[in-house]
Structure 1
Amino acid sequence: MKISCIKLLAVSLLMSLAYACSSSDTEKPDPEPKEAGERWSVEKANQWYEEKGWLVGANYTPRTAINQLEMWQAETFDPETIEQELGWAEDLGFNTMRVYLHDLAWKNDKEGFIKRIDQFLDIADSHDIGIMFVLLDGVWHPNPEWGKQPEPTPHVHNSGWVQSPGAEVLSDTTKWGYLEDYVKGVLTEFGDDERVYIWDIFNEPDNTNDRAYGDIELDNKKEQALKLLKKSFKWAREANPTQPITSGLWYGDWCNPDSLKAMDKFMLEHSDVITFHAYEGPKVMRERIEALKRYNRPMFCTEYMARPRGSTFENELPVLKEHNVGAYNWGFVNGKTQTIYPWDSWDKEYTSEPNPWFHDILRADGTPYDSSETALIKEHTVE
């Protein structure tokens, strides 16, 4: 009886040991959750920018893409054109580009999207260009659709550009679950990637964009956009990237901290680096720089240069360099976005190339729109 019990106990122990060994091979302990990040200190932000040096470049979409989706979808992703155009950017002395992503690319083709971002970053890095990615966008068409994108409407500025997310998702907080997955997923995937310089969380979130909305009603867009902006910053902090995060001011009076809009106040209090837009000419550019200096953080003008409005390279690039403010003009190569045409092309008929161009620097063959402009850019960028 004793012998059989001993044998039974031994067999039981051996079986338990075997199970434990096999389990250890297949069942890994859950990884430690990544600790949520905090807003960078002023000292950390300024040290980061001192190491980067003055950043200058453009908002970039390849000439073969009408919008973010056409840029990133598998069928229309165009690395050959990107390679060529970023080579032209390198020749101008640009060391950075601001580039828009889109939530539908994540939702519909997550793995492919990640691979194409990685390929794009490889191309940019080969030209010594670091990227500021924009995750969400509140401007132009409110109903983005996955799949084949429309052809440009002749002579119309950004006739096919799409918001991210669209109005249907923005208006319904119950549909924001995949947006959290998108923001956290992209920032986790590339949050330690030295090829990425900055994360711009939400472009012009409270732009009512009346021209593009037409019959679509979204009376509370500003309120919903502020809610999503706050959520997106929370998600970004939980992803805890090693790069700074930001969202940019784009209109209004920023001189008096006590009169800031709730949207602007949140952006200024939660961004690691300060970003803003300025299309009104050198006087306003200087005023905005002076108003934002009080935050003692690195500053980046992420959109400027609209020639008919006095916002030109000649007027503003020297100001930006003088104050060490990073500079991203709107547009690079004239293409399917057609941003050589002004904003009012949505309301006013144009039948030929405007004089002067509104945005963009180069023609589709890489030649300058204005060779004196490209010479001036090189004076400020090429040492």
Structure 2
Amino acid sequence: MYKQFLVALSAAALFSCGQPQTKETETAQTGVWDAAKANEWYAKQGWLVGANYITGSAINQLEMWQAETFDTAAVDRELGLAAGIGMNTMRVFLHDLLHQQDPEGYFKRMEQFLQIADKHKIRIMFVLFDSVWDPNPVAGKQRDPRPHVHNSGWVQSPGIKVLQDSTQYPRLEKYVTETVKKFANDPRVVCWDVWNEPDNPNVSAYGPVELKNKVDYVLPLLGKVFAWARAAAPVQPLTSGVWAGNWEADSTLKPIERLMIAESDVISFHTYDDSTEVEKRIAQLKRYQKPLICTEYMARPRNSTFESILPIFKKHKVAAYNWGFIEGKSQTNYPWDTWTKQYTAEPELWFHDIFRKNGEPYRQTEVDFIRQITKQ
């Protein structure tokens, strides 16, 4: 979800250079895994390789998980494809409105999903919140995709109205603590990603309706979210991935990046760049001496491919989750610039995704490569 059209967040300048200290972040920090514990956990996992996953039949997180559109047949079929090429994990997005709408049904469907994943020997990294794409999520029937547009229906969690309304934070706390507690000791869950790209300005697609000072709200709330998740005492690590900016030294990090790294049990990051830049990013993050997990990569036109990037991750023992798995309603085989440029047909070179709707590989040589390199 890292976008091509990044803009500087002037709001970050409102914060001091040091990590913001709140009661919540101080509480959370007391339970952050040290490097020894994190590396001990990581040594038991094997090399984690998978994708960011949504069913081809769903346009967003709500459509994937709501009772009327929860598609277990698609999950079974598609996770079977993943297992068939050696993938052993998937990163999967949740949404706070699912818990508000129907907590009992929501947990039941999560359990069904985990049962199917376990059948295919695939472990799940769940994502609790997300700051990218449509800031006005609404539960219920979701709109149809805009033709030829990348991720035209993906929704943020929490939405812009909730983010600005602190009276709704107790509901968010309940969502986080109950969700994490429900699966806190579940070996089928490999990790909790508490917030995806929390400070993403999102202006290329939703500029007119996006919150201009988003980071003012997200920064303090992110500290709370880490504390809420940690209070549920999960045996799995917590993380939130840095995704843009200069990571060369602690002094070059934005305040929110300092918080993300300080509160993460394992360090996660995004990169849609070529092999040279990926090597550089890994070198920058190794100073924390914790396991590294790349939770988003792979954009073919940007020279971020399986063949160029996966060998680097394997060499450095970096867990790898590419963006996109199967062609579907998310339309992420189309590039980011479909928000600003007119397309009338699918691109000859796909941006993301591995399989076509019918389950055939987009590129046979690519899946053959993934299958070969993931042999444990």
Under a length normalisation based on structure 1, what TM-score does the superposition of the two structures give?
0.89
Q: Is 1:150 matched up with 2:125? A: no
Q: Name the counterpart of 1:119.
A: 112
Q: Distance in 2 between matches of 1:214 and 1:42?
A: 39
2:211 maps to 1:234: no
Structure 2 distance, partners of 1:134, 1:235, is: 14
Q: In 2, are the aligned partners of 1:200 and 1:247 still within 8 Å (CA)?
A: yes
- Which amino acid is 1:382 matched to? K
- Listed as ranges, the matches of 1:60-209 within 5 Å are 60-209=53-202
Pick the aligned partner of 1:248 from 236, 241, 251: 241
Cα root mean square deviation, aligned: 1.2
Tell me by how many angstroms 1:211 deviates. 3.0
Give the Cα–Cα distance (whole angstroms) in 2 for the partners of residues 323 and 202 of structure 1: 25
Partner SS for 1:176: helix
Specify the SS of the correspondent of 2:127. Answer: strand
The reply on whether 1:46 has 2:36 as its aligned counterpart is: no
Cα deviation digits, residues 139-178 of structure 1 (max 9, x gap): 0000000100011100000000000000001112222110
After the TM superposition, which of the residue ranges 305-314 and 36-45 deviates more from structure 2?
36-45
Residue pairs, 1:221-300, within 5 angstroms: 221-300=214-293
Counterpart residue type for residue 227 of structure 1? P
Task: Supply the AA of the counterpart residue of 2:258.
Answer: K
Is the CA contact (8 Å cut-off) linking 1:142 and 1:212 kept in structure 2? no
SS at match of 2:102: helix
Write the letter of the residue equivalent to 1:86. L
Contact kept, 8 Å, 2:273 with 2:304, in 1: the verdict is: yes
Is there any run of 5+ residues in structure 1 with no aligned partner, and where? Answer: 1-34
Structure number with higher relative contact order (C-alpha < 8 Å, ≥ 6 residues apart): 2
1:44 Cα deviation (Å)?
A: 1.1
Letter in 1 for 2:362: Y
1:334 aligns with 2:327: yes
Shift, 1:212, TM fit: 3.5
Whichever residue aligns with residue 165 of structure 2, its letter is D
CA shift digits 1:305-336 (9 cap, x unpaired)? 00000101111010001100000000000000
- Of 370, 377, 381, the match for 2:370: 377
Shift of 1:228: 1.4
**How many residue pairs were aligned?**
349
Aligned mates of 2:106, 2:74 — CA distance in 1: 18
C-alpha displacement of 1:217? 5.4
**Paired amino acid for 2:193:** D
SS in structure 1 of the partner of residue 309 of structure 2: helix
| Structure 2: gaps (5+ residues) | 1-26
Check conservation: 2:333, 2:350, Cα contact below 8 A. yes
- Percent pairwise identity: 56
Of the candidates 297, 306, 316, which is equivalent to residue 313 of structure 1? 306
**How much does 1:216 deviate?**
2.2
Q: Distance between the aligned counterparts of 1:217 and 1:316, measured in 2?
A: 33
Shift, 1:214, TM fit: 4.1
Amino acid at match of 2:172: L
Contact preservation (8 Å) 1:303, 1:330? yes
Contact kept? 1:92, 1:382, Cα under 8 Å: no
Over alpha carbons, which structure has the higher Rg?
1
Q: Which amino acid aligns with 1:119?
A: Q
How far, CA to CA, are the matches of 2:98 and 2:210 in structure 1?
Answer: 25
1:11 is matched with none
Partner residue, 1:10? none
Q: TM-score, normalised by structure 2?
A: 0.91
Please say if residues 157 and 346 of structure 1, whose CA atoms lie closer than 8 Å, have aligned partners that are also in contact. Answer: yes
How far did 1:219 drift? 2.4
Q: Deviations over 1:17-40 (max 9, x none)?
A: xxxxxxxxxxxxxxxxxx987111
Give the distance between the partners of 1:218 and 1:268, measured in 2 at CA.
24
